[in-house]
Structure 1
Amino acid sequence: MSTSTTIVAEESPFRRLVGDFVQSKMATAGFVVMCLILLCAVVAPWISPQNPYDLVQIDIMDSSMPPGSVSAEGLKFLLGTDDQGRDILSGIIYGLRISLIVGAGSALIAGVIGSSLGLIAAYVGGWVESAIMRLVDLQLSFPSMLVALMILAILGKGVGNVMLALVLVEWAYYARTARGSALAERRREYIEAAECLALSRARVVFHHLLPNCMPPLIVVGTFQMARAIALEATLSFLGLGVPVTEPSLGLLIANGYQYMLSGKYWISFFPGLALLLTIVAINLVGDQLRDVLNPRLRR
């Protein structure tokens, strides 16, 4: 009598993570929208009907045309044109590039700075931790928009200045999250083993402590990216963000705000819809990542 043995391969953590993520249809839809938005931003020069900021391609006679109109040259404006004759669809595609660069860039830089300070505060402790966390508390006590407005009022417009302002208002969120996660990992066996091997503090913090604190930082990063895009749009709408030569979605919304009451809704409506879809998609992905990466929050 023979017996057969069945060997079941253990599922990899990555496949299990993907499987848990796609259980949410809303998060999957948000991820697809995120990929489409990123793709449009990357290949903007090749897919947009025109370069809306090339004076050679713009005709003032095409100004304020409603969605679906066709120009004298035969160019169809699916979403209409603005007061200067620029195609709204092309403006959205190009505006997504600036919004994503500012949002993702500021979130990444703030994440590196804030996470490093939070890990150092939790591992070193003492007066170093007190000094860092008091600085974090001071930063979080001021409204983010007010701080960003003050910085840009001093530095002026520009993509680099907007990113710097957003980094200065975002890093504290990463620092607090990293410190909280690191404190839970500080007395684990693997940290004590690394200290017994006389490894340097930098190696213990960034090679052993940081990888185990990454899940909550990834979740914070997605939400902070959406928040940075919204803040940049608000700053550009107020006239303190990016210059007109490097337009973002916020600037596109501002361009058509004065024409809303005259019936030319499409100038601001479609850029605002693109901004809303971008922020909602990122938040949906971040919300599902929070559930997937934290077993205690899994539904």
Structure 2
Amino acid sequence: MTPPSVESTALGVPPRQAAAAPREETPLRRFVSDFAESRLAVVAFAAFVLIVLAALLAPVIAPQNPYDLAQLDIMDGRLPPGSVGGAGFTYLLGTDDQGRDMLSGILYGLRISLAVGAGSAFIAFCAGTALGLVAAYFGGRTDTVIMRLVDLQLSFPAILVALMILAFLGKGIINVVIAIVVVEWAYYARTVRGTALVERRREYIEAAACLALSHARIVFRHLLPNCLPPLIVVGTMQVARAIALEATLSFLGLGVPVTEPSLGLLIANGYEYLLSGRYWISFYPGIALLVTIVVINLVGDQLRDVLNPRLRR
């Protein structure tokens, strides 16, 4: 065994503590530490985790399966919150016109809204990022063609493009995802192109080109990782935007099918009853949608502050 140093013994420091090296701060630890500095962001992230868990565990924690017609009783339709149904079942948030428990409908509706929002945002992320990287790396006519498509896409209102696509394809979850992907990919392409143009002139990209590496390896192995921070922030915001867009399309009757209602369709189901005082049919799904979008935006806002070195300073 190595004898303890004279200096550490003289200072009264135990040998084990003197020999222990300080723990190196990894990028992950630094990211978690910076993110945790905002209490609002931590609360928002915790709320987002709870929302996701509630959606995933809906079949377990929901009092009723709102998609099972055998569990619905039309005689229990439009009951106010806290009412007891004919079978002795208590509806904490009331029921809609079909006798569907609103709490169960919200939990199951969250599953569809989150699945459509996250799924469409991920596909748009992959497509837009790939096109943006190709445009920035190759430049020339390739860059011109791709960016003119981006400009054309962004020149039309998102809801108008989505409505046109769904009018052609028809209703359905898959068609809604396709419509949102067509609307959102341009945001990723423009974001990654701006970042990649700066990284394209860095020395490490020139060194990789001098080593005769393939274009695909340079783009996706070296260029893409350095473009991810702004893409993560944009992706978070686009998930919230996709959820809101899906809710709008479903509210207009061009989104998900009636048999599997999302939050937007639940709001639409109670819209005609607002003037008659049966507010809960639209109010509670609207609150759930609002909280979900605000929570995701708060998390994305804090991610922007953490991942942007200029804002962090």
Matched, 1:13 2:27: yes
The one-letter code matched in structure 2 to 1:61 is: M
After superposition, the C-alpha distances for 1:169-199 in whole angstroms (9 at most, x for unaligned) are: 1000000000011011111121111111110
TM-score, scaled relative to structure 1: 0.98
Q: CA deviation at 1:120?
A: 0.6
SS of the aligned residue for 2:275 comes to helix
Percentage of matched positions with identical amino acids: 73
3-state SS of the aligned residue for 1:213? helix
Matches within 5 A, 1:154-169: 154-169=168-183
Indicate the structure (1 or 2) with the bigger Cα radius of gyration: 2
Which of 29, 41, 44 is residue 27 of structure 1 equivalent to? 41
Structure 1 unmatched runs, 5+? none
Deviation sequence 1:230-261 (CA, Å, 0-9, x none): 00000100011111022100000000000001
- RMSD of equivalent CA atoms: 1.2
Equivalent of 1:246 in 255, 260, 266:
260
Distance 1:139 1:47 in 2: 42
Per the alignment, residue 78 of structure 1 pairs with 92
One-letter amino acid matched to 1:38: V
Per chain length, whose mean CA-contact separation is higher, i.e. which structure has more relative contact order (CA < 8 Å, sep 6+)? 1
Q: What corresponds to 1:101 in structure 2?
A: 115
**Structure 2: which 5+ residue stretches go unaligned?**
9-17
Q: Residue in 2 aligned with 1:220?
A: 234
TM-score (ref. length: structure 2): 0.93
In the TM superposition, what is the alpha-carbon distance from 1:12 to its structure 2 partner? 1.2
Q: 2:67 aligns with which of 53, 73, 89?
A: 53
Per-residue deviation, 1:74 = 2.1
Aligned equivalent of 1:3: 7
Quick check: 1:65 aligned with 2:79? Answer: yes
Cross-structure match for 2:15: none
5 Å matches for 1:35-46? 35-46=49-60
1:280 alignment partner, one of 294, 298, 302: 294
1:115 aligns with 2:119: no
- Determine if the alignment matches structure 1 residue 295 to structure 2 residue 309: yes
CA displacement, residues 257-284 of structure 1 (integer Å, 9 cap, x when unaligned):
0000101000000000000000001000
Superposed displacement of residue 9, structure 1: 2.1
Partner of 2:205: 191
Instruction: Give matches, 1:146-161, under 5 Å.
Output: 146-161=160-175
Cα distance, 1:72 vs structure 2: 2.7
Residue in structure 1 matched with residue 13 of structure 2 by the alignment: none
Match of 2:219 among 189, 192, 205: 205
User: Quick one: distance in 2 between partners of 1:120 and 1:99?
Assistant: 31
Cα distance in 2 for residues equivalent to 1:113 and 1:53:
33
For 2:67 and 2:134, locate their aligned partners in 1 and report how far apart those are by CA, in whole Å. Answer: 46
* CA distance in structure 1 between the partners assigned to 2:281 and 2:237 by the alignment: 28
Match of 1:232 in 2: 246
